[in-house]
Structure 1
Amino acid sequence: NERMNGRELDGMTFFELLLLEVQILDGMNSLQDQMARPRLEEIARQRKEESISLSVSAEQERCSLDIVKDDHHIS
């Protein structure tokens, strides 16, 4: 498309230029989304792993406290 190459911009109406601008901005937004997606997925994965790790640590701590509590009841 010659208009996308900028060679026929002089012959375009104001409305056509606005439409072209919207198409360009839409394309740029799509590109930004594509570029950001892998990083956002990595961040989500890391947060999920951290959440699981914190859950396991909390469960281990709770079990440890239960053992200490049971030891005090036995004595």
Structure 2
Amino acid sequence: MAVAKLREQLNALLSSMITSFQQLKMLYEDRGMPGFIANVVTLFCDWIISDLASLLEHLIMDFDKVDPYVHQLKGSSAR
């Protein structure tokens, strides 16, 4: 059950990040810098989500390893 709850939290965080991304994208596109935010966010997401996904695949999860990623993801998606 803990894994399902973590996945639910991860999905909520991803949804928040998408909203923030869309707002940032509009700001940078208005300033003539299309693609800048998309590249930065893509690199960050590829790294953190990949690491989180590999940790969530283990049958026995080490929450001490997952916790810093979740906090970083949450902090990075704050508005």
| Larger fraction in helix | 1
Structure ranking higher on relative contact order (CA contacts 8 Å, 6+ apart): 2
Query: TM-score, normalising length from structure 1?
Result: 0.40
- Using structure 2 for the length normalisation, give the TM-score: 0.38
- When Rg is computed on C-alpha atoms for both structures, the one with the higher figure is 1
